[in-house]
Structure 1
Amino acid sequence: MKALEGGCLCGNIRFRAEGVPGFPHTCSCRMCQRHTGALTAAWVEYPREAVTWTGPGGAPATWRSSERSSRAFCPVCGSSLGAIDDAPVVALLTGAFDKPHLLPLKPQSHSYKASRPKWWHPEVTA
């Protein structure tokens, strides 16, 4: 698969992700909800070396969100971009991709269903 590109709302932070995205999923945990402002976040993962920060702002700003991960965002416009884990993984929010509709980004599972409101029923089908 060729590289996929994306970035923040203002264009200050841009990325290029090489290869096939891994673990395409949605998550409704409270951390994801607060990070994105949405009831459910959609994510894919890449090895750290597969992601290049290409925009004029370089790498995104980060905030340490847990013992093993930092949330990534644009320091100019505040757009959430994903998470940079201590393990060599960069998890990118699919909404930050230029073409979020592409099939390799389609979620295959949903995490933390119990954290979502009972009226929220995201459909995830293989």
Structure 2
Amino acid sequence: MRQKKIHTGGCLCRAVRFEADAPAARPHTCSCKMCQRHTGSLTAIWVEFPREAVRWVGPLGSPSTWRSSDISSRAFCGTCGSSIGAIDDQPTVAILLGAFDRTSAVDLQPTYHSYKGARPKWWCIEIRET
């Protein structure tokens, strides 16, 4: 029997940890202003999973959240403040790629870019096909 691949990750202090069943869905980059402010970066890299594919396994359990829109809440560690991702009302958990322990898995590679127009014109995003 083939073992299921699991992605792991968490925050800086390791109080919030997750396990997410592969394969990931809809990995993408985004340069909208909300993502910029959530991450402190010009572009966020998101990896989405169905809610039932993500387990919060750290000592704090699930991350703290802040309601950021009518459809989503931003997720972060209540201890160290690390951004973890977003938990949408639809059954989706979007995790920031930087929160993963191993970021090079093929199914985590972004396939498209959202809100290109919100980035500074000098900021170039290139997603290479594999």
With normalisation by structure 2, the TM-score equals 0.95
1:43 aligned partner? 46
Gaps (5+ residues) in structure 1? Answer: none
Unaligned runs of 5+ in 2: none
Which of 77, 91, 95 lines up with 2:94 in the alignment? Answer: 91
Quote the residue 1:65 is aligned against.
68
Aligned to 1:28: 31
Root mean square deviation, CA, Å? 0.7
* Structure 1 stretches of 4+ moved >4 Å: none
Q: Which residue of 2 aligns with 1:9?
A: 12
Q: Which of 53, 77, 81 is the matching residue for 2:84? A: 81
* CA–CA separation in structure 2 for the residues paired with 1:73 and 1:124: 27
Counterpart residue type for residue 17 of structure 1: A
State the partner residue of 2:105: 102
Write the deviation string for residues 63-89 of structure 1: whole angstroms up to 9, x where unpaired: 000000000000111100000000000
Q: 1:104 Cα shift?
A: 1.1
What percentage of aligned pairs have identical amino acids?
62
Q: Could you give the per-residue CA deviations for residues 57-115 of structure 1, whole angstroms, max 9, x where no partner exists?
A: 10000000000000000011110000000000000001100001221111110000000
Q: Higher Cα Rg: structure 1 or 2?
A: 2
User: What is the match of residue 58 of structure 2?
Assistant: 55
Give aligned pairs, total: 126
Corresponding residue SS for 1:95: helix
